[in-house]
Amino acid sequence: MTTQPPNAGTQATADAEPLWQLVPIADYRLPQTPAAGAARARWASLRRLFAPRRKAPEAPARTEADLRGLTPQRLDALAGPVDWTAGAAALDQQLGEDADGVWLLIGPPHSGHGALLHAWAAGRGAQPIEPPGDDAILSGDRAWLDAWPRDARPWLLPRLEQCWLRHAAGLALVRALLTQAQAGRLGHGIIGCDSWAWAYLRQVAALPTRRVLTLQACDGEGLATLFRALVAAHVRRPLRFRHAHSGKPVLVVDGAEDAAGATELQYLAARCRGNAGLARALWRSRLRAEPDADGEDAGTGTADDGTSIWVAAATEPSLAAGPDETVALVLHALLLHNGLPGPLLAELLPLPAFRVEGVLQRLAAAGAIAEAPAGDWRLTAAGYAPARDLLKAQGFLLDDF
């Protein structure tokens, strides 16, 4: 649990293009994969096909054993939580004069669009609305909808993905909600929705095509700006983030740039499909330091004396599904609902509960999913990209991001 306040640097990038741009979803542009990165990804995919557990033979500049993980405090100083005040301001700007009615903000998992909406709601005094319970969804109970706030204040429904269930009886309530929202009977507010739920709801309900926004994709340059802004003010500069495999700088804060770093960040941006929140989570998980001479973790105490932080090679959990579709079914259900508790997941899938539990445990052990304190299983940042690849290969419905 981190206690440090969000880094303020993400608010102002006065001399450059604003970091957070909200655009209609049709205008979302995926960052390009660098040619070397694309070839590397294809080669890795081919290698997985023939020899799933074969290790790369190259000798890295620093092996994982040479490096130590950083403490949460140190990680917060180097890649802390994003301050979404600037994002909320961008949202306000986008709403502009057309602030009446219902707007939607769509974002992929880990993108941080929920946090952005909460920052917006805090600034505008908007009233947050909790999603209905599972029983209300399955019984089609309209009490939740009838109790919608009718005052002049704007409202915020941050998680539309939790207002429905992929069940024959689980769609009526969300259809009624969307119908009323489009008819203008719900007043002024914003609905946040996960991109996977949005892709599914598009197939099963009449969705608005206007007033639907998303955060524009971040390319490598955008990530460099974000990661620099996330470094806390008290961290000593210049600070070099160096790749543990090649030894080359990936990112330099207040120092001379290196072209090699741009490629690495562009590859990260492409792998994350422009999802800045996901890229930040992966970046944070890869940061390492060399242990001090006395054996103490460089992430503690006076670690700012060092000018190099090592960026470990990207690793992704192996899902190794093979011809068995069970893993894909579980991952897809989790993504569509942006997390589900185990018992409810077993109800929604045509699989025995013990089998679902087994798959959940296997995926958790691989690091692809994690159980939230509330009991919901969600995909981890590291597990998201391979899960999407797996679902794409098996022909499942995908999101647009």
Partner 1 sequence: MDRDIASLFKHLDTSALLDLALILAAATALIVLLQKTLPWLANRLRGRRRHWLLAMVPLLRLIIIVGAFLLALPKVIEPSFQNMVAVLGSLGLALGFALKDYASSLVAGIVAVGEAPYRNGDWVEIDGVYGEVTHVGVRALQLVTPDDNLVTIPHQKLWDEAISNANNGQPQLQCVADFHLHPEHDGARVRAALYDVALTSPYLAFEQPIAVVAQEQPWGTRYRLRAYPIDARQQFRFTTDLTLRGKAELLRLGAAFAAASPAPDPSPPPS
What's the min distance (Å) between Cβ of 172 and partner 1?
9
Using CB under 8 A as the binding rule, whether residue 170 contacts partner 1 is answered as: yes
Using CB under 8 A as the binding rule, whether residue 124 contacts partner 1 is answered as: no
Task: Judge contact between 249 and 258, C-beta under 8 A.
Answer: yes
> Tell me, what amino acid is at 365?
A
Site string for partner 1, 5-34 (x = CB under 8 A): ------------------------------
Task: State residue 28 phi and psi, 5-degree precision.
Answer: -65, 125
Using CB under 8 A as the binding rule, whether residue 322 contacts partner 1 is answered as: yes
What's the min distance (Å) between Cβ of 358 and partner 1?
17
Task: State residue 103 phi and psi, 5-degree precision.
Answer: -110, 155
Task: Judge contact between 321 and 360, C-beta under 8 A.
Answer: no
Distance of alpha carbon 356 from alpha carbon 358, whole angstroms:
5
Using CB under 8 A as the binding rule, whether residue 206 contacts partner 1 is answered as: no
Using CB under 8 A as the binding criterion, the count of chain residues that bind partner 1 stands at 23
Q: Mapping DSSP to helix (H, G, I), strand (E, B) and coil, where does residue 25 land?
A: helix
Nearer to partner 1, 254 or 325 (CB): 325
Q: Residue 40 half-sphere exposure, CB side, CA atoms within 13 Å? A: 13
Nearer to partner 1, 166 or 188 (CB): 166
Task: State residue 350 phi and psi, 5-degree precision.
Answer: -85, 50
CA 88 remoteness from chain centre: 17
| Interface residue with partner 1, options 3, 203, 295, 354 (CB under 8 A) | 203
What's the min distance (Å) between Cβ of 185 and partner 1?
23
What's the min distance (Å) between Cβ of 53 and partner 1?
15
> What is Dmax (Cα atoms) for the chain?
67
Site string for partner 1, 129-168 (x = CB under 8 A): -------------------------------------xxx
Element (DSSP H or E) covering residue 191? strand 189-194
| Interface residue with partner 1, options 171, 177, 270, 359 (CB under 8 A) | 171
> Tell me, what amino acid is at 12?
A
Query: Binders of partner 1 among 259-318, rule CB under 8 A?
Result: none
What's the min distance (Å) between Cβ of 331 and partner 1?
11
> What tokens does 238 get?
């210049």
Residue 84: name the closest of 189, 226, 224 by CA: 226
Query: Binders of partner 1 among 331-370, rule CB under 8 A?
Result: 332-333, 348-350
Distance of alpha carbon 83 from alpha carbon 87, whole angstroms:
8
Query: Binders of partner 1 among 33-62, rule CB under 8 A?
Result: 49
Residues forming contacts to partner 1 in the complex (CB under 8 A) are: 49, 166-171, 203-204, 322-323, 325, 329, 332-333, 348-350, 393-397
